[in-house]
Amino acid sequence: MDDRLCLLTVHAHPDDEASKGASAVAKYHAEGVHTVLVCCTGGEEGDILNPAMDIDSVRSDIRSVRMRELALSARVIGYDEVVMLGYRDSGMFDSDANDHPECFATAPVEEAIDRLVAIIRSERPQVVVTYPNDPGGYQHPDHIRVHEITRPAVDRAADEIWRPELGSPWAVSKIYFSAWSRQRIVARHEAFEELGLESPYDERWFEREGFDHLITTRVPVDGFAGVRREALLAHATQIDPGSNFWFGLPADVDDRIHSHDEFRLAMGESGSDEPETDLFSGLRDDRTVT
């Protein structure tokens, strides 16, 4: 297994895997890279945003519904494995869900880190994708906690002394943060306007500080751009198929704008001059894809 290329992504909730880097994961899976999704919570506090799914049977069993949606999305994207970290959705800051004893944001940090250590040592990825510490306008406590546990887990996983009962040590080569450039938002907004369509982007989107200068890696996803749409639609409770934000542009225009997925190298060495076009740049020499 040490020679097997493996990509491991760490996400907060079901549906995050569909909106962040899904097309790149699909591309790597098609190449034979072993792809693993770690989902930290069950998404129990997610609002039902699709009116067709806002019914008693769904509301009363929302976790099971979201688990089924996650399984479908993972199949669409091409994840070889889905591993649940085992926590409950924390909800937004100052919500009642913050007080739930099983929620992710208030769980013992050391416990959450070591759960991820065990997964890293078992799966042995060269590349881990997670969230930055500057999530922009979306300050969800579970997304913040994902960032807080991932780097310490990577460090501990490589430590020969740290808790040997969690598995043999494994050194991850690179950590990337998923990214969504201001340039892409501008391109989408302009496409709406050029087509005479109502843009979902108001001035608040353009008041935010851009982080485009921090993006190091743009992975071409030609032929896989549509995977993102299909994976999003798998989350029927969270994604309204009539959403202007997600589906307001014609597919060909959307695919042109999303011709690559964007990332930011957070740990490790770039294997090429920036911008990189491959998360595994510099790591492929003696590795296999199976």
Residue that is written with structure tokens 């297994």 in the block: 1
The arithmetic mean of pLDDT across residues 75-93, rounded, is 94
**Predicted confidence (pLDDT) at residue 289 exceeds the cutoff of 60:** no
Q: Note the pLDDT of residue 230.
A: 97
What is the number of alpha carbons within 13 Å of residue 247 lying toward its C-beta?
Answer: 12
Q: How far apart are CA 27 and CA 15, in angstroms?
A: 18
Secondary-structure percent of the chain, ordered helix, strand, coil, rounded to 5: 40, 15, 45
- Residue 57, both tokens: 């049977």
Average pLDDT, the chain: 92
**Predicted confidence (pLDDT) at residue 135 exceeds the cutoff of 70:** no
**Domain 6-267: which CATH number of 3.40.50.10320, 3.40.50.850, 3.40.50.10490, 3.40.640.10:** 3.40.50.10320
Cβ pair 90, 105 in contact under 8 A: yes
Domain ranges of the chain: 6-267
The arithmetic mean of pLDDT across residues 106-122, rounded, is 97
Question: Side chain identity at 69, as an amino acid letter?
Answer: E
Instruction: List the helix and strand counts (H, then E) for the chain.
Output: 11, 7
Reported as a single tens digit per residue, the pLDDT across 219-254 is 999 999 999 999 999 999 999 999 999 999 999 999
Reported as a single tens digit per residue, the pLDDT across 146-203 is 999 999 999 999 999 999 999 999 999 999 999 999 999 999 999 999 999 999 999 8
Residue that is written with structure tokens 């997600």 in the block: 246
The arithmetic mean of pLDDT across residues 2-27, rounded, is 95
Please tell me the pTM assigned to this model. Answer: 0.94
Instruction: Count CB-CB contacts under 10 A for residue 186.
Output: 16
Decide the pairing of beta strands 174-179 and 34-41.
unpaired
Describe the strand order of the beta sheet including 81-87 as a list of residue ranges: 81-87, 34-41, 6-11, 127-130, 174-179, 260-267, 217-220
- Residue 257, both tokens: 């704008």
Q: Which helix (H) or strand (E) holds 112?
A: helix 109-123
Q: How far apart are CA 54 and CA 171, in angstroms?
A: 44
* Angle, in degrees to the nearest 10, between helices 22-31 and 62-77: 50
Would you give the DSSP letter of residue 109? H
